[in-house]
Copies of this chain bind each other. A is one copy, B any other.
Amino acid sequence: MRTRLKDVAELAGVSVKTVSNVVNNYVHVTPELRARVTAALDELGYRPNLSARNLRLGRSGMIALALPSVRGAYFSELAHLIVREAEQHELTVLIDCTYGDLEREKNVVESFRTHLIDGIILVPWQLGTADLRAREDTTPLVLLGERMAQSADSVAIDSRAAGQAATEHLLDIGRRRIGVIRNLPRNTGGVVSRNRLNGYKRALAAAGLEFEPELIAEVDFSHGKDARLATDRLLALPEPIDALFCFNDELAMAAMRRLHEQGYRVPDDIAVIGVDGIATGTAVTPTLSTIDPDKQAIAETAVRMLVERIEGSAETGPRRVKAGFTLVPRESTMGQQHTRRRRRTAKHVSGH
C-alpha cells in the first residue's frame, strides 16, 4: 500500500537520508547508489507524504484564493490567471468561495486551514477595516480591491479613474444624459462602487453637466432580474437617457438585453458601456464597450506580493499597488461601422 522512505531505504540497502537525497535531487550521491535507490523507488511506487514534509518544513506550497464566487466571468478569468501565476512560483491554489458572506470572510483571514496554507489572496466583499485591524492570524494576506488598503497589502485599479474614463467616453460620443447601474455597496465600505460613481460625477462636472441622482439605479447582484428592473426604472424617466454606464459587464449585458426587449437600439438610442473586460463581451451583438482592468497585472502583482511576504523579503508596512486598465470602445458605444473601420482602438491607463 503506502510505502515510506524507510521501506525504500531497506529495499535499496541504504539509509533513509540517502533516499531522501535522491528524492530531493541532491547532488552529492554516488551514481551507483542513485541508480539502486531509483530502482527501489519505483519498484515500490513511492509517493512522498507531503503532510509530513510540510510539517517538517513549516510551509506547504499552497495558497488560498478566496472570492465571492468562481461562477461569474470576471472572477473566473481572474482565478485562472492567479492559478497560472502561482504555478510559476510552484504554488498550488486552494479555492474558497465566500459568497460575500461576512462570517466566511472573517474565517478566511482568521482561521482558514491554519498552518496549511502559506498565504491568502482575498477579494473582500463585506469585510471592514476594523475586522482587518483586529486580525490575529499572521498568515500573509493580499487583498484584491481598493478597500482597507491601510491594513494589508492590496492591488486594484483606480476605480475613480475607471469611472471617469467610462463616462468621458460616453460624453466624447456626444451623450449627455447618462444613466448608471451600480452594484450596491454591501457594507459601509463599498469603496469600489462609490469611487466609480465619483469618477462619473467628476467627468460630468468637467463637462459642465449637473449630477442628477435620479439617473443612478442600484442593484444587489449582477443577476438578470435585478438588472432588468433597474433598466426599466431608468427607461421610465420623464426625460429619456441616451447612455448607460454599468458597473460591470454582466450587468451591462443584462441591460442591453432588456433594452432590446423594450425596443431600444444600442447604441443608436442608448449607448452602453461596462467594466471588467470579460471575454463574452466580444461575442455578443452589439459587442460590448468596456473598461478592461489589466487582470494579468493584478494576478502577477498579487502573487508576487504574497510570495514576498511569505519569504519575508517585503518591507514592513502595507503596500498598495494600482493596476492599469484600458478603455475598449466597441459597438455598444461606437456602432457597427466602428467594427469595419478600425479594428480596435484602446486607450491605456497604466498602473501607478
Contact = CB atoms under 8 A, between A and B. Distances in A.
Interface residues of A, number: 55
Given A49-B114, A256-B285, A71 B60 contact: no
A311 B177 CA distance: 62
B70 A115 contact: no
A282 B80 CA distance: 24
B54 A83 contact: no
A275 to B, nearest CB: 16
Interface in A77-99: 77, 79-80, 83-84, 87, 92-97
Contacts of A48: 114-115
Contact of A97 (B83, B97, B111, B224): B83
A76 interface: yes
A76 B83 contact: no
This protein's copies in its complex: 2
Contacts of A253: 280, 283-284
A27 interface: no
Given A49-B115, A257-B284, A92 B83 contact: no
A256 to B, nearest CB: 7
Interface string A21-57: 0000000000000000000000001011111101100
Given A47-B137, A73-B76, A92-B94, 11 more contacts: A2-B115, A45-B137, A49-B115, A54-B116, A70-B70, A73-B280, A76-B76, A76-B79, A253-B283, A256-B283, A257-B283
Contacts of A62: 94
